[in-house]
Structure 1
Amino acid sequence: MSDSKIRIGVDIGGTFTDISIMDAAGGIITKKVSSTPNNYARAIGEGLAAAFGENGLGGADVAELLHGTTVASNAILELKGARTGLITTKGFRDVLELRLLRMPRLYDLLWEKPPTLVDRHLRLEVDERIDARGNIVTPLNEADVVAVLDQLLAEKVEAISVCLLHSYVNDAHEKQIHDIIRRRAPEMVLSISSEVLPEIKEYERTSTTVINSYVKPVVGRYLNNLTADLKGIDIGAPLLLMQSNGGLTPAEVAAEMPVHIIESGPAAGVIGARVLARRAGFDKVISFDMGGTTAKAALVENGEVTRAEEYSVGGGIMIGSRLMSGAGYVLKVPAIDLAEVGAGGGSIIAIDAGGAPQVGPESAGSFPGPVCYDLGGTEPTVTDANVVLGYINPKHLAGGAVKLHADKSKAALTEKVAKPLGLSPERAAYGAHMVAAANMIRAIKAVSSERGRDPREFALVAFGGNGPLFAAGMARQLGMKRVIVPPSAGVFSSVGLLYSDVEYNLSRTYRQHTRSLDLPALVAAWNALETQATDKLAADGFRPDQIRLRRFAKLHYKGQAYELSVPVPDGAITERIAAQLEDAFGEEHERTYGHRAGPNEPVELVSLNLTASGELDTLRDGGADLAPATEAASERDAYFGPEHGWMATPVISRAHLVGRDWKGPVVIEEYDCTCVVPPGMTASLDTLGNIAIDVAG
C-alpha cells in the first residue's frame, strides 16, 4: 500500500461485513469477515484490525471512513426501536392507524396491517389549528402541551414526535411545543415534522417523523459504540454514512436525522454500478446485488440512478414493486429505487404445505448459517445447494476464512428436500437453485419491465457474495445479452462507498398553478433552499467549487392526489420556467402512465426539491493492471441441470482471463465471490478488469 492516507469503505450485510481500503493511487485491498448481529460494530473493529495487521497499516493512516449500515432498517423490521410518543393536532390521533387505505393483497381477507410504531395510548392530542394557508385559527394552549408531555413522561417514552396539521406552511406551533419539551425534558429524543419533512400529506409526514424518532436512539447508540471501537484502533478520521439516496452524510447528521439512512445498506453498490457503467461505456445497466440474506436490483439509465420519492419498509414486503403497496411503514424521503426480495446464500430451502420446494424468505444468516458452515445450522440453504452442485469450492470460502463441510450440505439437502420430493440430491439442489433465481428475476422485472423498460436493452452488473454465481443464468432467462462482474465483486458495496459524495436533499411545499406563478416568491423560495444547502455543505468543510446543486419540482394535474418529479433547468428563474415545467411534466406523465392530458389541462406545482452534493476531494479511479495467471487451472465436476448433467468444469481465477476467452462451463473463483459461467456462454476480461460474460456465447 501507499504511504499516503487511505480511505475505507465498510458495508455490513446479514451474513458478512465487507471492508475495502483504497490508497491515494486508487489501489484497493479487501477484507471479508462474518457479521456480528449482536453488535455489528464489533465486526468492523475486528475486521479493520485484521486488515491493518495484514497490510502494515494503522489507524493514523485513515483519512476517512465511509459506512453503509442496516441498523436502522433492522430496528423497524424487528420492531425493536425506541418507545415513542406522538403529539398531534386534536382530531388527528389515528392518522398512523388509518394509513392510506391501500391493500397489498386485494383478496386476502386474513391480511392485517402491521402494528403502528406508536401505541394508541402514546398518541396524544393538543387543541390547536393552523389552516392550509398558514393562518392561526386556534392558538396553541401551553397548558395542553404540558399536560400531554407529563403523560408521555409518566409512560417513560424514550422519544417524542411532534406532527401538527399544516405545520409545513407555518411551523410556529411546532416550535412552541419543541421549546416546551426542551425546557421540561432537555434530554428527550425529539423530532418535529417541520424539520424532518416540511411537505404536504398528513400520513406520509407523520409516518416519516415517527420513524425518525423510533430509530434515533438505536442509531445513536450504534454510532457511539462504533466510534468507541474505532478509537480503540486509533481511527479518529471523519465517519460518513451512506444515505438511502446514494449520497454520504456525516455521522453527526445521521444521528440527528436517521430517517435518511434507513436503506443505507443497499445504496452503495448501486452507486458503484453507476460509476462502473460510466467508465465501461454502458448507457443502461441493471445492478444485481445478492448477498447472504437478500437480493436487490436497481436501474441505472444514462448515467443516472433511478430514485423513488417515497418507499416502504417492513410489513412483510420488500420495497420496489408498484404492484405491492400499503403494507409497510412509509417514508417520504428520496431513496434509490430498489427492488428487494428475500433470497440470498443463507435463504432456507424447505417444502411448503403443498409439497413444492420453497426458498426463503427465512434465512440462516451468519449464525448458525448454512449447514456447510458447521456452526449448528440444520436447515439446508441456497449455499448448501450450490456446494452440492459443485459451483462453490467444497472446502472453503473467503480465501479459507470460512471452512466448509460439503458432506453435511449433501446430507441435509437429501434428508430435508431430495427424499420428500423423490429426487436425487443434485436434481433437488438444481431445482432449489432455479427457484431462488426465479425469485430474484422478480426483483429485476420490478425495476425494468414494471417501469416500462425492456431488460433486454440493459447489461446486468452482478455483485455481492452470490450475485455472480446466479447472474449469467438469470440473464439468459431474461433475454439479456451481457453480464458484467466487477473486480472485488463480493465486496462491491463497500467499494461503491469509495465513489460516493456527501449529499443533502431539501424540500418544501410550494403550491401554485404553473400558469399563474408568483415569480418573485418562487425565486425567494429557491434561494432559501439553496442557501440552506450551501450552508450545510460549508459547515461540512466543502469549498464552493466542490458544491453541486440540482433543482427538481413536483407537479400534478389539478385534482390528482400524486405528483411526479421533473428536473428544473439551471440558471435564472424566468417567465419561461412555467412552460418548461409543463412540458417536462407532460413528458414524464406520458412515460410513466402512457398518456398525457390536453394542453388546456391545468398543471399545479406542489413542492420544490433541491439535491446538494459535496464532491469529496479524493482520488476515485486507478488500480493496478491484472497480471496473467501463472498457475494452471484446476477442475471439478459441476451439475448444470438435466440437459447437461455433471460436467468436468475448469476452475480458474480472474487472472486466467487475461488475454483470452473461456467458453463455459467455467467457474471463476475469487477471494470474495464465485462466478459461474454456464455452458454455451463465453467469459472474457475487458480493459477495466471486469469479467464480461457474453450470454449468447
Structure 2
Amino acid sequence: MSGYRVGVDIGGTFTDIVLLGDTGEILTRKVSSTVDNYARAISDGLAATFAEAGIAPSEIEEVLHGTTVASNAILELKGARTGLITTRGFRDLLELRLLRMPRLYDLGWVKPPMLVERFLRMEVTERIGADGSVVTPLDEAEVADAVDRLVGEGVEAISVCLLHSYANPAHEMRVKEIVAERAPGMVLSVSSEVLPEIKEYERTSTTVINAYVKPVVGSYLKSLIGDLDRIEVKAPLLLMQSNGGLTTAEVAAELPMNIVESGPAAGVVGAQQLARRVGFDKVISFDMGGTTAKASLVEDGDVTRAEEYSVGGGIMIGSRLMSGAGYALKVPAIDLAEVGAGGGSIISIDAGGVPQVGPQSAGSFPGPVCYDLGGTEPTVTDANVVLGYINPGHLAGGSVKLRSDKSKAALTEKVAEPLGLSPERAAYGAHLVAASNMIRAIKAVSSERGRDPREYALVAFGGNGPLFAAGMARSLMVAKVIVPPQAGVFSSVGLLYCDVEYHFPKTFRQLVGDIDPSALREATAALEAQARDRLAADGFSGDAVELKWTAKLHYRGQAYELAVPLPAIGPGFAAAAAEAYGAEHERTYGHRAGDDEPVELVSLNLAARGLLEAARSIAKQDLAIGLAEPTTRRAYFGPDYGWMETPILKRGHLATPYAGPVIVEEYDCTCVVPPGMTAALDEFGDIIIDTGVNA
C-alpha cells in the first residue's frame, strides 16, 4: 500500500489540494473555496480525489495545511470579543501605538479600529521594573474585579500584558490563576507565554491578536478535524506557520498568532527548494491568486524573514522600513509583501476618472462576471478573458466554465465606454494597472531592502502568477522567469517541503563588549532545553532536530534591531557581533557607523526544526505523453502589437524552444509569454522564460 502526504492551501477564490505519493507520483485538484466553511472544500475535494484515484483514506500519512482563517478574522474584524488586563497607566497603549504615520503627509489616514475597545481594557495596580524587581506589588482584588467586569461585558477571550513581564512573569502568572478561578474555561493569552520580549506596544499588540483569533482558529481546526474524520482520514494535521515551518494543530490552536500569514509562506518555501534545485542563488518568489499577490526573496538558498510585521494595513510588508498601518505582530515571519491584487480584484474608475484595480475583490462568490454567478463588477480575470489570455473553457481543467461575452459586456459598460476606449484597450490598461500594483510588492522586498531585482530570477506561481510574470519581469529588467510544474497549486506543493519549526525568543539586553560569556551561555542553554522539550513532545529528537541561532542587535540608542547569526560565544564574541551587525546594517540601509559606535545585543532567538523524514521528491513527469498539435487563439498584446494569432501550447511542447507570443495552458494556471521573449523547458520540467533584457 502506498502512502501519501497531503498539502492543502486555502485561497480567497480556490482551495488547492496536492497529494504526493511515497514513490513521487503527484495528484492535484483545484476546487472553489467554501467561504461559509473553509473546511468543507478540503474534505469534499479530498473525498473526490480519493474516489477518482482509488486511494483509501488510510493511505494518508500527513495532512499539511496553510490557512488564511486567522488573517481573515483580523482583516474582517470578525475575531472574538476580547478584553485586556494591563498595568495601570498603560490602558491606551493600543491607541497610542508607535506614533508613526505609514503614509507621509497623508492627513486623511485613520488608524484601524482597535481589536479591544477602550471600555474592555482594564488597568490593575502593579509594577515590575526593567530589571525584574517588584516595584509595586500586584493588587489581586483589582484583578478579580477586572475579570468580573470583563465577564460581565461578555468577552470571549482575555489578554494579559503587564509592564516588563518578560523580565519577571510572576504577576502575570498570578493574574492567569485568578482568571482561571473566576472565569473557568475563558480563552486566555498571557504575554510572558506568548512573547517574552522587550517593547511594550509590540508585546501588547501581539498578545491581543493571539487572544482575538484564538477562538476562531480553535473552532476552525475542530471543524476541519471533524470533517477529516468524516471522510476517515486519521492522519496527523500540521499547520503552516508564518515563519515557513510547520506546527501541530494543538500548538496552532494555543498560539494562532504564528499562523496569521500561514497561507503565503508555503509558496516561498517551495520557491526556496526550486532555487536550490535549478542552481539559482537569488530568486524573487511571486505568487498571485484570486485575491492577493505576494512577493518574497530567497538569497543563497535561504528565505528572508522579518522579525515583525503589520496585518491589515493595505500593502503588508515586514516593518523595517514602514510600519504603523495595521496591527503589529511581533513574531518571525517570512519577509514578504502582499497587495490586494488578484484575479478577482475589481476594476473601477475613481472620482478623478482614473482606472483602479482592487483592493476590493469579487472572491469566489459571486466571483468575476465571467463565472456567471451573479457578479456585475468587472475583474482582472474578466480583463484577461477579453484579452484572449484565458481560455473560457479551460479554467481549472474545464471544471469552471467562463462566459466571455459577459466579461466583455461588463468591461465595456463599466470601464471602456466611460473612458472612451475599445474593450481590448480598456482590458489591457487594467492588466497593466494590476501589474503595476504587484510590482510595488516586488520592490517592497527588493529595492526597498537594498537589493537590485535585476540580479534575481522571478519564480512565478499561483493561479494568475504565470500570466503576469513575464511582463512584470521585463518592467523590472529581470532577465529570467521560472514557472515550476504544478504552478497553480504551488503553495500546496511548497507545504510538502516544510519541516516542523518553532522559534524561542529571549530578551538579553547588554552592550556586546560588556557581556559575560558564562551568562550568555546560560541563557542559550535554557532556550535550547525549552526547544528540545517542545520538539520531543512532537516526536523529534537526536539527528531529527536542527537548531539555528540568531541575535538581534542595534547601535546603542537605536529603536529598531536587525537580526544576524549569533557568533560563537567566546573571547572574540564582541568583535564578531559588532562586525556582523555593521555589515547587515550597511546591506540594509546603505551605511554603517564607525567602529567606536557601541553595538548592543537586544535579544536572542532560537529556531528549532524537527526534520520530517517523509519523501520530498516529486517524480519527473513525461510531458510528451498525450501531446496534441498546438492550436492558436487571438490574443491582444497592447497597442504596439495589437491582436496576434497566438500558439496555444501544453508544457511539453516547450521541449522545443518557442518565441513569443505563446500561451501555455495547464490544469491549474495559464502562462503568457509576450512578444519578444522566448520560452523553453529545463531538465526538471520548469518553464524558463528569457525576457530579452540584459540583467
Which of 659, 684, 687 aligns to 1:688? It is 684
SS in 1 for 2:176: helix
* Cα offset, 1:623, TM superposition: 1.1
Residues 315, 337 of structure 2: 8 Å contact kept? no
Which of 640, 643, 647 aligns to 2:640? It is 643
Matched residue, 1:679: 675
Matched residue, 1:244: 242
- The one-letter code matched in structure 1 to 2:614 is T
Instruction: Give me the CA root mean square deviation.
Output: 1.1
The CA distance in 2 between the partners of 1:557 and 1:688, in whole Å, is 46
Q: Does residue 575 of the first structure (1) align with residue 579 of the second (2)?
A: no
Matched residue, 1:634: 631
Residues 321, 446 of structure 1: 8 Å contact kept? no
The CA distance in 2 between the partners of 1:94 and 1:491, in whole Å, is 44
Matched residue, 1:281: 279
Question: Deviations along 1:152-193, whole A, 9 cap, x unmatched?
Answer: 111111000110011000000001111111122220000100
In structure 1, stretches of 5+ residues that fail to align are none
TM-score scaled by length of structure 1:
0.98
Q: Does residue 613 of the first structure (1) align with residue 625 of the second (2)?
A: no
The CA distance in 2 between the partners of 1:84 and 1:348, in whole Å, is 33
The CA distance in 2 between the partners of 1:624 and 1:607, in whole Å, is 45
- The one-letter code matched in structure 1 to 2:140 is E
The CA distance in 2 between the partners of 1:202 and 1:319, in whole Å, is 21
Matched residue, 1:422: 420
SS in 1 for 2:639: helix
SS in 2 for 1:643: coil
Matched residue, 1:35: 33
The CA distance in 2 between the partners of 1:590 and 1:274, in whole Å, is 25
Question: Deviations along 1:178-229, whole A, 9 cap, x unmatched?
Answer: 1111122220000100000001110000000000000000000000000000
The 5-angstrom pairing of residues 274-353 of structure 1 reads 274-320=272-318, 324-353=322-351
The CA distance in 1 between the partners of 2:203 and 2:379, in whole Å, is 40
Matched residue, 2:664: 668
Matched residue, 1:69: 67
* Cα offset, 1:21, TM superposition: 0.4
Question: Deviations along 1:236-273, whole A, 9 cap, x unmatched?
Answer: 11000000010000010000000000000100000000
- The one-letter code matched in structure 2 to 1:160 is I
* Cα offset, 1:543, TM superposition: 2.6
SS in 2 for 1:403: coil
The CA distance in 2 between the partners of 1:402 and 1:630, in whole Å, is 22
The CA distance in 2 between the partners of 1:452 and 1:319, in whole Å, is 15
Question: Deviations along 1:439-481, whole A, 9 cap, x unmatched?
Answer: 1111111111111111111000000000000000111111111
Number of residue pairs the alignment of both structures matches = 692
Matched residue, 2:473: 475
Residues 113, 315 of structure 1: 8 Å contact kept? no
TM-score scaled by length of structure 2:
0.98
Residues 320, 446 of structure 1: 8 Å contact kept? no
The CA distance in 2 between the partners of 1:245 and 1:378, in whole Å, is 38
- The one-letter code matched in structure 2 to 1:663 is A
Residues 93, 124 of structure 1: 8 Å contact kept? yes
Moved more, 261-270 or 388-397: 388-397
The CA distance in 2 between the partners of 1:114 and 1:664, in whole Å, is 46
The CA distance in 1 between the partners of 2:106 and 2:658, in whole Å, is 50
SS in 2 for 1:604: strand
Residues 315, 441 of structure 2: 8 Å contact kept? no
The 5-angstrom pairing of residues 36-51 of structure 1 reads 36-51=34-49
The 5-angstrom pairing of residues 171-210 of structure 1 reads 171-210=169-208
The CA distance in 1 between the partners of 2:45 and 2:24, in whole Å, is 21
Residues 317, 328 of structure 1: 8 Å contact kept? no
SS in 1 for 2:8: strand
The CA distance in 2 between the partners of 1:532 and 1:367, in whole Å, is 45
Residues 626, 689 of structure 1: 8 Å contact kept? no
The 5-angstrom pairing of residues 13-412 of structure 1 reads 13-320=11-318, 324-412=322-410
Matched residue, 1:535: 533
Residues 282, 300 of structure 2: 8 Å contact kept? yes
SS in 1 for 2:640: helix
Residues 395, 406 of structure 1: 8 Å contact kept? no
Residues 552, 563 of structure 2: 8 Å contact kept? yes
The CA distance in 1 between the partners of 2:642 and 2:672, in whole Å, is 15
The CA distance in 1 between the partners of 2:228 and 2:567, in whole Å, is 43
- The one-letter code matched in structure 2 to 1:214 is Y
The CA distance in 2 between the partners of 1:178 and 1:126, in whole Å, is 13
- The one-letter code matched in structure 2 to 1:360 is G
SS in 2 for 1:638: strand
- The one-letter code matched in structure 2 to 1:535 is D
Residues 308, 319 of structure 2: 8 Å contact kept? no
Matched residue, 1:602: 598
* Cα offset, 1:626, TM superposition: 2.1
Matched residue, 1:565: 563
Residues 347, 360 of structure 1: 8 Å contact kept? yes
Runs of 4+ in 1 over 6 A off after TM superposition: none
Judging changes above 3 Å, is the alpha-carbon distance between structure 1 residues 169 and 324 closer, same or farther for their aligned structure 2 residues?
closer
The CA distance in 1 between the partners of 2:555 and 2:657, in whole Å, is 54
The CA distance in 1 between the partners of 2:556 and 2:318, in whole Å, is 27
The CA distance in 2 between the partners of 1:283 and 1:595, in whole Å, is 24
Which of 583, 586, 590 aligns to 1:587? It is 583
- The one-letter code matched in structure 1 to 2:441 is A
Residues 286, 461 of structure 1: 8 Å contact kept? yes
The CA distance in 2 between the partners of 1:624 and 1:552, in whole Å, is 37
The CA distance in 2 between the partners of 1:596 and 1:622, in whole Å, is 45
Residues 12, 18 of structure 1: 8 Å contact kept? yes
Q: Does residue 486 of the first structure (1) align with residue 516 of the second (2)?
A: no
Question: Deviations along 1:580-601, whole A, 9 cap, x unmatched?
Answer: 1111111111112222222222
Question: Deviations along 1:371-418, whole A, 9 cap, x unmatched?
Answer: 110000011111011111110002231111101111111111111111
The 5-angstrom pairing of residues 477-556 of structure 1 reads 477-556=475-554
Residues 96, 207 of structure 1: 8 Å contact kept? yes
The CA distance in 1 between the partners of 2:621 and 2:364, in whole Å, is 34
Residues 20, 28 of structure 1: 8 Å contact kept? yes
Moved more, 184-193 or 8-17: 184-193
Residues 345, 382 of structure 1: 8 Å contact kept? yes
Percent of aligned pairs with the same amino acid: 72
Residues 315, 340 of structure 2: 8 Å contact kept? no
The CA distance in 1 between the partners of 2:599 and 2:639, in whole Å, is 58
Question: Deviations along 1:300-336, whole A, 9 cap, x unmatched?
Answer: 0100111000000014443357554211000010001
Which of 653, 657, 661 aligns to 1:656? It is 653
Residues 620, 684 of structure 2: 8 Å contact kept? no
Residues 437, 470 of structure 1: 8 Å contact kept? yes
The CA distance in 1 between the partners of 2:394 and 2:61, in whole Å, is 34
SS in 2 for 1:644: coil
* Cα offset, 1:343, TM superposition: 0.7
In structure 2, stretches of 5+ residues that fail to align are none
